[in-house]
Homo-oligomer: A and B are copies of this chain.
Amino acid sequence: MKICVLPGDGIGPEIMAQALRVLDALRADGLPFETETAHLGGCAVDATGVPLPEETLKLAKAADAVLLGAVGGPQWDALPREQRPERGLLGIRKELNLFANLRPAILYPELANASSLKPELVAGLDIMIVRELTGDIYFGQPRGIEVRNGERVGYNTMIYSESEIRRIGKVAYEIARKRGGKLCSVDKMNVLECTQLWRDVMIEMAPDYPDVTLSHMLVDNAAMQLVKNPKQFDVVVTGNIFGDILSDEAAMLTGSIGMLPSASLDENNKGMYEPCHGSAPDIAGKGLANPLATILSVAMMLRYTFNQEAAAQRIETAVKSVLAQGYRTGDIYEAGTRKVGTIEMGDAVIAAL
């Protein structure tokens, strides 16, 4: 079990340190992990001049799974496009062919108050957003900014092929089958031909999954329904850009984005695992960051790449137990609970394991 560890920028190294302690604990109990660490994002720019160095890509390709902290920060914002930290992220997704992004939006009962929504609307929330990650307007050609008729014009191309849609559709249908059996495909078929094809292909696949109920929703309506009644959703499948927007909206419904892991998988369940939250430069280096999303990303890695369901659940149970014991980092703190820093939270999880 070879894992490529990419701590990244901002709070990345701090939260990763806690996730690695969890890995160590499991290793001591007999899971044979090997880890190698490399640079991605801003730290890679500083070290090598590019956000995704050759060396990092080589290690990531050789590994079975990649564990990522977070990338980005204001000090790299002024760099030319190709050198910005996000480019490293987009590059590694594309190079490793990580087309399936799984982003659970789960509200832990202990954190129900953290949501901006009324508790009865979000209690027990458990949505899985399946976002296509290597196609769409993120990677479509042609793209650019150029002068036409004496003025600048900026353009990008939204594009999906049947096989790209089918491949992500398969992942989504199979996840729906293992969960509540409900799959909602989100598109903008009333305006965009690209997403009309998306809907057509999702419908064509339905007969292969008689146990899954397929529904469709326009993206504007989905953005509304997530606010109005989020518990109507089980699994949501959508393209890269709509998935970017809706998965962040769904994550924020829980009010505790510091708790949410994500997985990005290729066709063989090789994957990159990372927290949904960003690199939080404002609190970096202060020992305040919440490591739980990264620790839960380790659980997702065990489940999806290494097929170690028991070990995955062991971590998830440990996290639930530290919440039940009242441990909270600042982002999820409320009166009556026990405020701790990044390392103490790591300690608590290790103890609960």
Shortest distance in angstroms between A36's beta carbon and chain B's nearest beta carbon?
A: 28
Inside 8 A of A307's CB, which chain B residues have their CB?
none
Contact A249 B248 (CB under 8 A): no
Cβ B140 vs Cβ A155 within 8 A = yes
Chain B residues whose C-beta falls within 8 Å of the C-beta of A225 in the assembled complex: 252
Contact A158 B161 (CB under 8 A): no
B158 and A137 contacting across the interface, CB-CB below 8 Å: yes
Cβ-based interface call for A333 (8 A): no
With A90-B191, A154-B160, A191-B86 as contacts: A245 and B227 at CB distance below 8 Å: no
Does A335 reach chain B (CB closer than 8 Å)? no
A283 interfacial contact with B, CB 8 Å: no
| Residue contact B248 to A220, C-beta cutoff 8 Å | yes
- In the complex, A221 has a CB within 8 A of chain B: yes
Flag if A224 contacts B248 (CB, 8 Å): yes
Which listed residue (B197, B198, B223) contacts A248, Cβ 8 A? B223
A39 is an interface residue with CB less than 8 A from chain B: no
CA–CA, A342 and B241, complex, Å: 39
Residues in B with CB closer than 8 Å to A118 are 116-118
Report B-chain residues with C-beta under 8 Å of the C-beta of A151. 161-163
Report if A194 contacts B (CB, 8 A).
Answer: yes
At the interface, yes or no: A67 with Cβ under 8 Å from chain B?
Answer: no
Once A224-B252, A228-B252, A249-B224 are accepted as A-B contacts, the answer to whether A197 and B153 lie under 8 Å apart by CB is yes
